[in-house]
């Protein structure tokens, strides 16, 4: 199977290389191709849910005729039992669930999602939702879209950096196809999967993939809004504040939902699963869903039917309150016990209930005339944005799902209010909180990791303006015209730095210069809040200091002797190093395909005096991170890529090139792709004996 897969890769690569298309044309074709593949996968996912819904509630329920009407209670339990058996047979794959796995895959800069994971997480949620599990399809759909995009990228022999981008685009395209919301899918990928890391190329891929996937979805599933309602009345502007109040109220409920979800997760894992087999816990959760559905069948599945019933005023306020309570309590129980699904659709359901109830309370108790439809629709967006911390995506998803622009301003107000409340209280989205609970700490910017691998001593300037603290102002003014520095550091009789002076301190006294030049000394006007930077500090730390202080250079001290000044570090040098490192990453991405053809140990010239070489790492490198090895500082070489050999078609590692990350630890089967001056490259020949 693996050799067949490799032949497809080689044939695809050769075919594309013969066409000689411009890079942007290839990029566009790949984006559309991935969008199309994800679109068809989403259609299959949707139809599979409908199929299994018929299997469980049609054929299975009829087979349990001896239970009569109570047969419906057992259906979700049967679905949960089947999922528990899947978990038991493949526990490692089963644990890689939901949007958080796509975030981790993309944040790792590999974008790799094994195909067997994609298949598993296609089947499990189909069974869960099809058997009445009161969850949504969007989390599994995003994982499905990311998995399809990742595998297709591997098939097309796309570099890791581009694969990361296409994996995010695939997740967004799946959301676009499932909800029929192309704009919502684009911003879902940006806000959740990419952690708001915006790049022009990535945005283009998101647009092309999402629009393509949504087009296919509309073709096969229809282009009619899932919600049926008359044009809502938003009311006069003197009642607009009610939407802000609704947003704050729903933000508070969103906060409680996340907290309850975390508490139930801890209780199930620490108290139930330690005493009972998982299948029994999952069956109990299924029975609770079935019992709720016995009385209120609209609680089953995704819940769009119930929302339409609310829009058509088929429920009294008491029924809506009960439905909200059921959904609030059951969704975390289903997911945390082991069921598969997402929280987007439940958020829409609960938000609709809260919007309806808010309008009812205001109308009944305060004599207002608020339109329940408007508040129901706005509540959906507020809850979706609040729980997931995705204000832009929530606004666009609701707008595109309802295809009505009349209530866009109240929607924006409520979503922003809800999201701000949750951000102030939780300071994160539910997806990132889940990752934090798993022990992951994800950076939102690539530059952070880049700067953490470079240390102050590498860009240290030996020159620094040091003047005695008793120096007269007149002497300092004369020095300003002689040196390029705009900052002077003062030292005392013990040769310790005591303060600094910039033009900012001198400017106010220029007008009185003639009177005070012989009276004041530099110590009288100097700033004394010295921030010490040491030669071993990384540039990420230094850059944060520059961002918090209005200076362009900082003194650098020796870590071994904190009173000794080694020189200075300049803001522009840090920025220049960041640009250089980003250029190196872009260079590595651009050369990725060509670098796969370099033979180990063979030096390949790329410019006059500079070459690239593939080499097996020294034995003492194994197990150490690139930031600890500091190859640039010790050997004058840049690690462009890490080459890993393949381990089979279904392998998680796969045959790939990894963009060098400072936290990456060298493994025994790694091959380093190094770039640097020819003399430094030649010196690596000695590593073979080390």
Q: How far is Cα 176 from Cα 52, in angstroms, rounded to an integer?
A: 23
List, in order, residues 6 or more apart from 201 with CB less than 8 Å away.
27, 165
Q: How far is Cα 674 from Cα 681, in angstroms, rounded to an integer?
A: 8
For the beta carbon of residue 471, count every other beta carbon within 10 angstroms.
Answer: 16
Region of 303 (left: φ > 0; alpha: ψ -120 to 50; beta: rest) is left
Mean pLDDT of the chain: 81
The CA angle 658-164-200, to the nearest 5 degrees, is: 120
Longest alpha-carbon distance in the chain: 106
Q: Quote the pLDDT of residue 677.
A: 82
Evaluate whether residue 277 is within a structural domain. no
Domain closes at, from 517, 541, 574: 574
Evaluate whether residue 670 is within a structural domain. yes
Gyration radius of the chain's alpha carbons: 30
Torsion of Cα atoms, 409 then 413 then 414 then 416, to 10°: 130
Residues in the chain: 690
Q: How far is Cα 642 from Cα 17, in angstroms, rounded to an integer?
A: 24
Domain closes at, from 437, 460, 493: 437
Strand 565-570's sheet: what is its strand order? 533-534, 553-557, 565-570
Nearest to 53, CA basis, from 133, 144, 166: 133
User: Which residue is it, tokens 């393949």?
Assistant: 646
Evaluate whether residue 282 is within a structural domain. no
- Sign of the Cα pseudo-torsion (293, 296, 298, 302, in order): negative
Query: Per the structure block, which two tokens stand in for 179?
Result: 């909800």
The values of phi and psi at residue 22, to 5°, are: -60, 155
Torsion of Cα atoms, 213 then 219 then 221 then 222, to 10°: 120
Q: How far is Cα 13 from Cα 454, in angstroms, rounded to an integer?
A: 36
pLDDT tens for 75-84 read: 999 999 999 9
User: In this structure, are residues 282 and 128 in contact, taking their beta carbons and an 8 Å threshold?
Assistant: no
Nearest to 117, CA basis, from 135, 80, 144, 152: 144
Q: Are residues 153 and 185 in the same domain?
A: yes
Q: Are residues 365 and 254 in the same domain?
A: yes
Secondary structure class of 63 (helix, strand, coil): helix
Q: Are residues 69 and 97 in the same domain?
A: yes
Q: Are residues 61 and 195 in the same domain?
A: yes
Q: Are residues 399 and 497 in the same domain?
A: no
Evaluate whether residue 245 is within a structural domain. yes
Q: Are residues 470 and 541 in the same domain?
A: yes
Q: Are residues 27 and 77 in the same domain?
A: yes
Evaluate whether residue 28 is within a structural domain. yes
User: In this structure, are residues 194 and 393 in contact, taking their beta carbons and an 8 Å threshold?
Assistant: no
Q: Quote the pLDDT of residue 106.
A: 79
Ranges under pLDDT 50 in the chain: 1-2, 443-448, 592-599, 646-655
User: Which runs of E-coded beta strand occur in 506-560?
Assistant: 533-534, 553-557
Q: At what angle do helices 344-366 and 317-337 cross, to 10 degrees?
A: 160
Q: Quote the pLDDT of residue 585.
A: 59
Nearest to 320, CA basis, from 368, 379, 370: 379
- Sign of the Cα pseudo-torsion (447, 449, 454, 460, in order): positive
Residues paired with residue 88 on neighbouring β-strands, in sequence order: none
Secondary structure class of 12 (helix, strand, coil): helix
Domain closes at, from 190, 221, 252: 221
Evaluate whether residue 372 is within a structural domain. yes
Q: Are residues 257 and 190 in the same domain?
A: no
Q: How far is Cα 488 from Cα 255, in angstroms, rounded to an integer?
A: 51
User: For residue 466, what is the domain's CATH number?
Assistant: 3.10.580.10
Q: Quote the pLDDT of residue 215.
A: 92
User: For residue 329, what is the domain's CATH number?
Assistant: 1.10.3080.10
Q: Are residues 329 and 431 in the same domain?
A: yes
Evaluate whether residue 489 is within a structural domain. yes
Three-state SS string over 180-231 comes to CCHHHHHHHHHHHHCCCCCCHHHHHHHHHHHHHHHHHHHHHHCCCCCCCCCC
Q: How far apart, in Å, are the Cα atoms of 176 and each of 125, 212, 341, 377, 391?
A: 18, 9, 17, 19, 16
Domain encompassing residue 203: 21-221
Q: How far is Cα 570 from Cα 555, in angstroms, rounded to an integer?
A: 9
Secondary structure class of 6 (helix, strand, coil): helix
Q: Are residues 193 and 108 in the same domain?
A: yes
Q: Quote the pLDDT of residue 213.
A: 93
For the beta carbon of residue 484, count every other beta carbon within 10 angstroms.
Answer: 6
Number of domain units in the chain:
4
Q: Are residues 27 and 162 in the same domain?
A: yes
Q: How far is Cα 286 from Cα 282, in angstroms, rounded to an integer?
A: 6
Q: Are residues 248 and 201 in the same domain?
A: no
508 exposed, middle or buried (CB, 10 Å; 0-12, 13-18, 19+)?
Answer: exposed
User: Which runs of E-coded beta strand occur in 9-62?
Assistant: none
Evaluate whether residue 3 is within a structural domain. no
């Amino acid at each position: 199977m693996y050799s067949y897969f490799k032949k497809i890769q080689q044939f695809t690569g050769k075919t594309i290389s013969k066409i000689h298309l411009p890079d942007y044309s290839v990029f566009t074709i790949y984006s559309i191709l991935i969008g199309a593949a994800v679109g068809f996968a989403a259609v299959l996912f949707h139809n599979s849910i409908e199929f299994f819904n018929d299997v469980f509630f049609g054929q299975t329920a009829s087979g349990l005729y001896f239970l009569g009407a109570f047969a419906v209670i057992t259906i979700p339990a049967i679905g949960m039992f089947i999922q528990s058996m899947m978990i038991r047979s493949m526990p490692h794959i089963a644990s890689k669930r939901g949007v958080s796995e796509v975030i981790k895959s993309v944040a790792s800069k590999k974008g790799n999602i094994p195909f067997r994971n994609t298949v598993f997480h296609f089947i499990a949620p189909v069974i869960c939702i099809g058997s009445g599990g009161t969850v949504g399809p969007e989390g599994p759909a995003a994982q499905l879209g990311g998995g399809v995009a990742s595998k297709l990228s591997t098939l097309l022999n796309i570099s890791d950096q581009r694969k990361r981008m296409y994996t995010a685009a695939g997740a967004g395209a799946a959301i676009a196809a499932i909800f029929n919301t192309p704009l919502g899918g684009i911003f879902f990928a940006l806000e959740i999967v990419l952690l708001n890391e915006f790049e022009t190329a990535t945005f283009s891929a998101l647009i092309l993939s999402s629009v393509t996937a949504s087009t296919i979805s509309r073709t096969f599933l229809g282009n009619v809004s899932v919600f049926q309602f008359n044009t809502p009345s938003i009311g006069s502007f003197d009642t607009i504040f009610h939407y802000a109040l609704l947003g704050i109220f729903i933000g508070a409920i969103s906060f409680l939902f996340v907290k309850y979800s975390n508490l139930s997760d801890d209780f199930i894992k620490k108290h139930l699963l330690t005493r009972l087999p998982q299948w029994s816990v999952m069956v109990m959760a299924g029975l609770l869903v079935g019992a709720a559905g016995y009385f209120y069948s609209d609680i089953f599945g995704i819940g769009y039917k119930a929302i339409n019933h609310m829009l058509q005023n088929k429920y009294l306020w008491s029924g809506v309150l009960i439905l909200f309570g059921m959904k609030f309590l059951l969704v975390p129980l289903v997911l945390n016990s082991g069921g598969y699904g997402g929280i987007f659709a439940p958020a829409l359901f609960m938000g609709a209930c809260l919007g309806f109830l808010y309008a009812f309370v205001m109308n009944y108790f305060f004599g207002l005339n608020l339109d329940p439809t408007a508040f129901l629709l706005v509540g959906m967006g507020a809850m979706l944005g609040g729980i997931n911390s995705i204000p832009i995506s929530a606004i666009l998803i609701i707008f595109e799902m309802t295809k009505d622009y009349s209530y866009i301003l109240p929607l924006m107000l409520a979503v922003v209010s809800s999201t701000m409340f949750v951000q102030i209280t939780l300071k994160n989205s539910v997806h990132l909180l889940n990752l934090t609970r798993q022990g992951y700490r994800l950076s939102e910017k690539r530059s952070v990791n880049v700067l953490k691998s470079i240390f102050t001593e590498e860009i240290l300037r030996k020159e620094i303006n040091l003047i005695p603290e008793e120096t007269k102002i007149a002497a300092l003014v004369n020095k300003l015209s002689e040196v390029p520095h705009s900052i002077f550091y003062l030292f005392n009789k013990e040769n310790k730095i005591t303060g600094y002076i910039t033009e900012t301190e001198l400017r106010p006294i220029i007008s009185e210069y003639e009177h005070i030049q012989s009276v004041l000394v530099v110590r009288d006007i100097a700033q004394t809040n010295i921030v010490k930077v040491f030669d071993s500090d990384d540039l990420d730390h230094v850059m944060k200091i520059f961002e918090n202080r209005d200076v362009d250079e900082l003194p650098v001290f020796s870590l071994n002797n904190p009173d000794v000044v080694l020189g200075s570090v300049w803001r522009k040098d840090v920025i220049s190093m960041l640009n250089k490192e980003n250029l190196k990453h872009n260079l590595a991405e651009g050369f990725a395909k060509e670098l796969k053809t370099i033979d180990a140990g063979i030096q390949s010239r790329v410019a006059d005096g500079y070459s690239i070489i593939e080499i097996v790492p020294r034995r003492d490198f194994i197990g150490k991170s690139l930031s600890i090895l500091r190859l640039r500082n010790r050997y004058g070489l840049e690690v462009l890529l890490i080459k890993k050999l393949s381990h089979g078609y279904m392998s998680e590692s796969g045959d790939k090139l990894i963009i060098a990350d400072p936290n990456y630890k060298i493994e025994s089967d790694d091959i380093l792709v190094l770039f640097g001056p020819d003399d430094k490259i030649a010196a690596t020949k000695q590593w073979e004996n080390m």
